[in-house]
Chains A and B, each alone.
Chain A
């Protein structure tokens, strides 16, 4: 039978200062880890939700993003008519040839410039993505130097707000006439404009970066892909849009997770030492209590488990504070470089159940490891010596 947990919890409550200091140290570590994992999950979520299961994206074979891909305009209609592609209707166009370029724009509140992704879309580009909606202003008019911006860019860059102007490229000003929302996808961090405006501004006539094609069903992808990639004279590849965005998020997501995990592991060593010192103190201060429990008949294993439970409880208290702090980061939007597109994107922290479970497991592990040696010392305590010294 185990020593009741309330004995450990109340003992923690008695030693308020050391309990608070140790839990705070663990909370900081868990906060760093949980924040990094939540951001990584946020990146993956943003990119994953950007893709539709029934949409395929066609790019130049060998290119790993739209920036490095070129598709000749002459191929667009052939791609749009490939087997598996859905027939166009006026309400829901079946394809969208798009040009993607990055522009260096001054970031507000920070020195220097940063890349922002510009996307040139055909007139029906918004209708191709029914989830998109304009939340302020209007859509840019074709033939005008007008753009609309994703909601997450608003107010973060010089000239990128409704009614303001910025340079698409040197001496080519464009005015922001609308702000759109794309359901938290990566498009929310893009500047959209007429395809021809972007082509002429960067002398890319005759080319687009990619062609998105709506399929008759998600299952039609294999036939579509076979048709596109089987045509050797094109040299194109077809990917499911969801798969494409998943790959786009991989580098950034892994980078954030790795940095967060490395920093957390180093911090964790400090926090574990803190927990160990606290638990050694607890064992030393409670010699008489340990001796009494042993005398009454509790086994060494019961004492070991009791002190391990105490250190784990302490770590979980810290973990809960750390996770709560990281969850509060859900209200924060963070702007960072996407290493695939080399452009700035805005992400949110996504507190998935898996991240929360990982954070608590990490906290519990710190408690278990930090408390292990002190618990062994407690279990080895001789009842006679304990009561003599205590």
Chain B
């Protein structure tokens, strides 16, 4: 193999590697003004998340892990630095373009489930599809499939108050995957659940990652939850350790 061939192969390899990166965070700074003081929550942070990864972000309270998750999910904007997800610079997007991007790209799983209490499980799961051009019948079919994936096909018409915490979180996961998003972000998904329900939810996330190839970034305090992830990253004082 000549030197030129070796160089070309290395270039091709690094290109392929680069193509696998779904999330690229470069020099991200995030500051907040609190009581006249400037808090630097993230301090020039760099991060790459590969497509199909299941990553856990851990760290003490105030370390900036939820802030980082919100930035990756396009819920918040960095004070400085760039965030690219799926090849798109989301820190440059306007308000409505960012909302549309979130609808197309991100599936959210929250600690407190955040289901709309006046809508049934099926209606909650259908919500993200209202932002697409999918016809009503097809929306219902897809939402039903998502609920079947999370094992709740017999709870379609139940309201959140009629479900257990674990079931609520599974509905939330169904809502997160119904749009077939490129990325699922989960903020303390097991924080409000008992051990058994937490295990079920983590197994579900694991299955979504392994069987459906979903990229998952999860913030957690729970080491048992972090163990399920393929990569665990630790944040402290706004920096990855």
A301 to B94, CA, bound (A): 14
1/0 contact trace for B123-137 toward A, CB 8 Å? Answer: 100011011100000
A387 to B76, CA, bound (A): 12
A263 to B188, CA, bound (A): 56
Most chain-A Cβ atoms within 10 A of its Cβ — which of B75, B102, B116? Answer: B116
**B70 partner residues in chain A, CB cutoff 8 A:** 384
* Known contacts A1-B130, A4-B123; A296 and B103 CB within 8 A of each other: yes
**A387 partner residues in chain B, CB cutoff 8 A:** 110, 114
Asked if A383 is at the interface of the complex by the 8 Å CB criterion, the answer is yes
**A298 partner residues in chain B, CB cutoff 8 A:** 99, 103, 131
Contacting residues of chain A (1-43) with chain B, CB-CB under 8 angstroms: 1-4, 6-7, 10-11, 13-14
Judging by beta carbons under 8 Å apart, are A296 and B108 in contact? yes
* Known contacts A11-B118, A296-B131, A300-B99; A384 and B123 CB within 8 A of each other: no
Asked if B96 is at the interface of the complex by the 8 Å CB criterion, the answer is yes
A379 to B116, CA, bound (A): 17
Chain A, residue nearest B118 (CB): A10
Asked if B21 is at the interface of the complex by the 8 Å CB criterion, the answer is no
Other-chain residue from A289, A294, A383 in contact with B116 (beta carbon distance below 8 A): A289
Q: How far is the CB of B28 from chain A (nearest CB, A)?
A: 15
**B192 partner residues in chain A, CB cutoff 8 A:** none
**B5 partner residues in chain A, CB cutoff 8 A:** none
Asked if A288 is at the interface of the complex by the 8 Å CB criterion, the answer is yes
Other-chain residue from A11, A13, A293, A297 in contact with B100 (beta carbon distance below 8 A): A297
**A288 partner residues in chain B, CB cutoff 8 A:** 112, 114
Asked if B104 is at the interface of the complex by the 8 Å CB criterion, the answer is yes
Asked if B121 is at the interface of the complex by the 8 Å CB criterion, the answer is no
Judging by beta carbons under 8 Å apart, are A295 and B108 in contact? yes
Chain B, residue nearest A294 (CB): B99
1/0 contact trace for B145-189 toward A, CB 8 Å? Answer: 000000000000000000000000000000100000000000000
Judging by beta carbons under 8 Å apart, are B104 and A297 in contact? yes
Asked if B119 is at the interface of the complex by the 8 Å CB criterion, the answer is yes
Judging by beta carbons under 8 Å apart, are B116 and A7 in contact? yes
Chain A, residue nearest B104 (CB): A297
Q: How far is the CB of A309 from chain B (nearest CB, A)?
A: 14
Judging by beta carbons under 8 Å apart, are A299 and B130 in contact? no
**B130 partner residues in chain A, CB cutoff 8 A:** 1-4
Asked if A73 is at the interface of the complex by the 8 Å CB criterion, the answer is no
A2 to B127, CA, bound (A): 10
1/0 contact trace for A258-271 toward B, CB 8 Å? Answer: 00000000000000
A299 to B96, CA, bound (A): 6
A13 to B132, CA, bound (A): 28
Asked if A292 is at the interface of the complex by the 8 Å CB criterion, the answer is yes
Q: How far is the CB of A242 from chain B (nearest CB, A)?
A: 54
Q: How far is the CB of A289 from chain B (nearest CB, A)?
A: 5
Q: How far is the CB of A18 from chain B (nearest CB, A)?
A: 15
Judging by beta carbons under 8 Å apart, are A297 and B131 in contact? yes
Asked if B138 is at the interface of the complex by the 8 Å CB criterion, the answer is no
Judging by beta carbons under 8 Å apart, are A297 and B128 in contact? yes
Judging by beta carbons under 8 Å apart, are B96 and A296 in contact? no
Judging by beta carbons under 8 Å apart, are B76 and A384 in contact? yes
Q: How far is the CB of B86 from chain A (nearest CB, A)?
A: 15
A291 to B99, CA, bound (A): 12
Asked if B194 is at the interface of the complex by the 8 Å CB criterion, the answer is no
Q: How far is the CB of A152 from chain B (nearest CB, A)?
A: 51
**A10 partner residues in chain B, CB cutoff 8 A:** 118-119
**B218 partner residues in chain A, CB cutoff 8 A:** none
Judging by beta carbons under 8 Å apart, are B116 and A297 in contact? no
Judging by beta carbons under 8 Å apart, are A295 and B102 in contact? yes
**B123 partner residues in chain A, CB cutoff 8 A:** 4, 6
Chain A, residue nearest B108 (CB): A295
Asked if B17 is at the interface of the complex by the 8 Å CB criterion, the answer is no
Judging by beta carbons under 8 Å apart, are B102 and A292 in contact? no
**B100 partner residues in chain A, CB cutoff 8 A:** 297, 299
**B131 partner residues in chain A, CB cutoff 8 A:** 1, 296-298
**B37 partner residues in chain A, CB cutoff 8 A:** none
Judging by beta carbons under 8 Å apart, are A297 and B103 in contact? yes
A281 to B76, CA, bound (A): 26
A296 to B130, CA, bound (A): 10
A299 to B101, CA, bound (A): 11
Question: What are 14 A-B residue pairs whose CB atoms fall within 8 Å in the complex?
Answer: A4-B123, A7-B119, A13-B118, A14-B117, A288-B114, A289-B114, A291-B114, A292-B114, A295-B106, A295-B108, A295-B114, A300-B96, A301-B96, A384-B76
9 smallest A-B Cβ distances: which pairs? A297-B103, A10-B118, A292-B114, A1-B130, A297-B102, A299-B99, A297-B131, A383-B75, A299-B96
Residues of A at the B interface (CB closer than 8 Å) are 1-4, 6-7, 10-11, 13-14, 288-289, 291-301, 382-384, 387
